C-alpha cells in the first residue's frame, strides 16, 4: 500500500486510522494488503495505519520474524492473551479518544466480502473506546484498482483463455465429425492443459456443462458421473485464469455453443435475451461515463436484471449480475449486485468486474450464461476480449 496516500485518504474520510488484522487467513483482505500470502503466520496480528504518525504492527513473539521487512512501522509483540489485550489497548491508545477507525466490517454483514473480522474481535476493539466503520471504500481505492502492469496481465490472461475456449469448442465439433462423443471431463482436462501451456493458473477447474448441467450455475463435471457431449447438445464453457505471480489478475469468461447447425428456437430465445441484458449493463456504464456520473454496483445489476424480468425470466436469473475481479477471481471490489446483496459501492476507475447474466431452465434441460469482463479505465469502460453475439456451432 502507498502509506502517504492512504494517510491522506484517511484525512479526507475523517478517519483516525485503518486497523488490519487476521488469524489463520480469515481476513484475506488484510493478508493481501500487507503481501503476506505464503508466509507462515498462525497467531493473531494487528496492523494500524494512523492518519498521523508511523504505522504499528502487533504480532505474537514467535512470529516477530515472519513478517516481511518491507512492512513499515514500529513493531510490538505479545505472548500471553493478557499481553495481547494490553498491547492492543496501547496501540489504539495512540489515537485520540473516541477515534474512528476502519476495519473489514459491514453493518449487519450486508456485504460478505467486507465482513472479514469476527464479532468477538470487533467487541474487543470497541471495548477500548474507538468507533469502528467499514473499510470498504479504502479497500476499493488501495487494493482493488489495477495499475498498468495488472491491466496488461488481465489482457494476456483474457487472450489465452479465449483461445482455449475456441480450441475446446473446435475439439468437440471435430470429435462429432469423427463420430465420437467427448465427455465433459475430457474437455475440462483439455482446457486445463491449454491453460498450463499458456503458463496460467486457476483456483478451480473450468466448467463444461451440457444441457441440464448448464442450468446449474456452479456445476462441476465429475468422473463419477461421466456425461458425453452429443450432437444436438447445448454446451456452456466457463473458465477463468491468471498469470503466475502474486500481482497477476484474473480474466473470466463464459460462452455457450450448440452441437449442430440449427439451434432450437427456445435456446436462441433465451440466449438473445441474455446477451441483450448483458449489453444493457455495459451501455449503462458507457452512458454514465459520458455524462460524468458514477454508478454503484446495484444500479448496473438492476439495468440487467430488469430486462430479464421483463421477458418473464426474472425468477430464473438466480445470481448477481457480476463480481469484482482481482488477484482472486472473486475480488474485494464492488459487485454488480442487487439480489444477493445491495451493493452501494461506487464503480470507480481502475476497477475490473464481470457482467454475466444467465437464464436457467433445468426442467427444460437448458441453461444460458454470457460473461464479459469490464475494466473501468480513465477513458471509460473497456472490454478487451471478444464478445459473444451468436451461439457457437459447427
Q: What is the CATH number of the domain that holds 10?
A: 3.40.350.10
**CATH for 246:** 3.90.230.10
Distance CA 320, CA 340 (A): 6
Strands 131-134 and 200-201: unpaired
Distance CA 190, CA 312 (A): 37
In this structure, the answer to whether residues 271 and 310 fall within a common structural domain is yes
In this structure, the answer to whether residues 308 and 182 fall within a common structural domain is yes
Question: For the chain (length 394 residues), average pLDDT per consecutive 10?
Answer: 92 97 95 88 95 95 84 93 96 93 95 94 96 96 96 98 98 98 98 98 97 97 94 98 95 98 97 98 98 98 98 98 97 97 97 98 98 97 98 97
What are the cell numbers at 199? 503458463
Q: What single string gives the DSSP state of each residue in 96-128?
A: PTT-EEEES--GGG-SGGG--S-HHHHHHHHTT
In this structure, the answer to whether residues 347 and 315 fall within a common structural domain is yes
In this structure, the answer to whether residues 201 and 58 fall within a common structural domain is no
In this structure, the answer to whether residues 92 and 166 fall within a common structural domain is no
DSSP class of residue 63 equals G
389 in a structural domain: no
In this structure, the answer to whether residues 105 and 227 fall within a common structural domain is no
- Measuring CA to CA, which residue among 269, 356, 353, 350 is closest to residue 311? 269
Distance CA 99, CA 290 (A): 40
Query: Domain count of the chain?
Result: 2
Segments of 104-245 assigned E as strands:
131-134, 200-201, 207-210, 234-243
39 in a structural domain: yes
Asked if 28 contacts 331 with a C-beta cutoff of 8 angstroms, the reply is: no
- Measuring CA to CA, which residue among 273, 386, 251, 272 is closest to residue 323? 251
Do you know the residue count of the chain? 394
Structural element, H or E, at residue 341:
none
Structural element, H or E, at residue 58:
strand 56-60
In this structure, the answer to whether residues 211 and 251 fall within a common structural domain is yes
Rounded to 5 degrees, what are φ and ψ at 201?
-125, 160
Give residue 188's domain range: 145-382
pLDDT of residue 70: 80
DSSP-based three-state secondary structure for 270: helix
Asked if 282 contacts 355 with a C-beta cutoff of 8 angstroms, the reply is: yes
pTM for the predicted model, two decimal places: 0.94
- Measuring CA to CA, which residue among 281, 258, 260 is closest to residue 271? 258
DSSP-based three-state secondary structure for 339: coil
Asked if 135 contacts 105 with a C-beta cutoff of 8 angstroms, the reply is: yes
In this structure, the answer to whether residues 322 and 237 fall within a common structural domain is yes
In this structure, the answer to whether residues 136 and 159 fall within a common structural domain is no
**Residues 6+ away with beta carbon under 8 Å from 12:** none
pLDDT 10s digits, 280-337: 999 999 999 999 999 999 999 999 999 999 999 999 999 999 999 999 999 999 999 9
Domain stop point among 143, 177, 210 = 143
220 in a structural domain: yes
Rounded to 5 degrees, what are φ and ψ at 281?
-65, -45
In this structure, the answer to whether residues 39 and 99 fall within a common structural domain is yes
391 in a structural domain: no
In this structure, the answer to whether residues 95 and 11 fall within a common structural domain is yes
Q: Calculate the dihedral angle through the C-alpha atoms of 198, 200, 202, 205, rounding to the nearest 10 degrees.
A: 10
Domain stop point among 95, 120, 143 = 143
In this structure, the answer to whether residues 94 and 174 fall within a common structural domain is no
Domain stop point among 110, 143, 176 = 143
388 in a structural domain: no
Distance CA 348, CA 323 (A): 14
162 in a structural domain: yes
387 in a structural domain: no
98 in a structural domain: yes
DSSP class of residue 48 equals E
Amino acid at each position: 500500500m502507498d502509506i502517504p496516500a492512504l494517510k491522506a485518504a484517511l484525512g479526507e474520510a475523517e478517519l483516525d486510522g485503518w486497523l488490519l488484522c487476521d488469524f489463520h487467513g480469515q481476513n484475506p483482505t488484510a493478508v493481501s494488503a500487507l503481501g503476506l500470502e505464503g508466509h507462515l503466520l498462525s497467531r493473531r496480528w494487528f496492523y494500524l495505519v494512523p492518519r498521523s504518525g508511523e504505522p504499528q504492527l502487533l504480532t505474537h513473539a514467535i512470529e516477530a520474524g515472519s513478517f516481511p521487512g518491507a512492512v513499515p512501522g514500529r513493531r510490538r509483540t505479545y505472548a500471553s492473551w493478557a499481553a495481547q489485550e494490553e498491547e492492543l489497548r496501547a496501540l489504539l491508545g495512540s489515537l485520540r479518544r473516541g477515534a474512528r477507525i476502519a476495519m473489514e466490517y459491514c453493518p449487519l454483514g450486508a456485504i460478505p466480502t467486507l465482513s472479514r473480522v469476527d464479532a468477538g474481535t470487533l467487541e474487543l476493539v470497541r471495548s477500548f473506546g474507538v468507533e469502528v466503520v467499514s473499510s470498504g471504500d479504502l479497500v476499493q481505492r488501495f487494493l482493488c484498482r489495477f495499475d498498468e502492469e495488472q491491466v496488461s496481465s488481465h489482457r494476456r490472461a483474457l487472450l489465452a483463455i479465449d483461445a482455449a475456449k475456441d480450441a475446446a469448442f473446435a475439439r468437440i465439433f471435430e470429435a462429432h465429425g469423427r463420430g465420437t462423443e467427448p465427455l465433459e471431463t475430457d474437455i475440462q482436462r483439455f482446457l486445463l492443459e491449454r491453460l498450463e501451456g499458456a503458463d496460467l493458473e486457476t483456483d478451480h477447474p473450468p466448467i463444461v456443462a451440457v444441457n441440464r448441467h448448464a442450468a446449474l450455475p456452479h456445476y462441476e463435471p465429475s468422473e463419477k458421473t461421466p456425461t458425453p457431449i452429443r450432437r444436438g447438445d447445448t454446451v456452456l464453457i466457463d473458465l477463468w485464469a491468471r498469470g503466475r505471480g502474486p500481482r497477476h489478475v484474473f480474466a473470466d469468461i463464459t460462452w455457450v455453443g450448440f452441437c449442430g447447425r440449427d439451434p432450437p428456437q427456445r435456446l436462441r430465445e433465451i440466449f438473445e435475451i441474455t446477451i441483450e441484458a448483458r449489453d444493457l449493463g455495459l451501455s449503462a456504464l458507457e452512458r454514465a461515463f459520458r455524462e460524468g456520473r458514477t454508478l454503484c454496483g446495484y444500479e448496473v445489476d438492476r439495468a440487467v436484471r430488469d430486462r430479464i424480468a421483463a421477458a418473464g425470466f426474472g425468477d430464473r436469473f438466480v445470481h448477481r449480475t457480476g463480481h469484482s475481479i482481482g488477484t482472486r477471481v472473486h475480488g474485494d471490489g464492488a459487485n454488480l449486485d442487487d439480489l444477493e446483496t445491495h451493493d452501494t459501492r461506487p464503480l470507480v476507475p481502475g476497477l475490473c468486474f464481470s457482467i454475466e447474466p444467465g437464464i436457467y431452465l433445468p426442467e427444460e434441460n437448458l441453461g444460458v450464461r454470457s460473461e464479459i469482463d469490464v475494466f473501468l479505465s480513465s477513458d471509460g469502460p473497456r472490454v478487451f476480449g471478444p464478445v459473444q453475439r451468436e451461439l457457437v456451432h459447427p
